[in-house]
Chains A and B, each alone.
Chain A
């Protein structure tokens, strides 16, 4: 089976812009969760989607949002980018106990 894919892998944006990141889960996995990884804060949970519904949400401002499509693919959006949003954004797809992470999207905000 193909693994979790995330696009794009690298992104440079300017403060105030918005960005959309995409995640394609492993075939058959219906849960997709998103994490932000930074050197200072480590890995932090953003949100989780299951069958197109947000089931869980972390402690991030409303500028961070996401959605899931009927084919389980997921997108996350960050509006009004801030310098502190520079991070590696990881998506994980799950089925049962297994959680499989993609390679991440490296977002740099200048």
Chain B
């Protein structure tokens, strides 16, 4: 079956531009997570969606970051007015209801020049 997919796989953007990253979770997975991994560093939690509940946005680093998810489908992570420190791999993961195991997508490598 299909795993978690993310697009684009790579994105190069100029400082100050907005970017939108997409995550398609595994069908039926109610939980969806966004993480960031800067070069040489560990993963950082950004945001968590669980069904129709209010998302946990506690990991978003600034108000330039936002994410949306409609129901249990696709999620988009938007970064406005990108800065060089936003350069990282952005990873999405999804999880089914009956398990704590998270399934990760391949990530989007964002480079802000």
Q: Do A and B come from one complex?
A: no
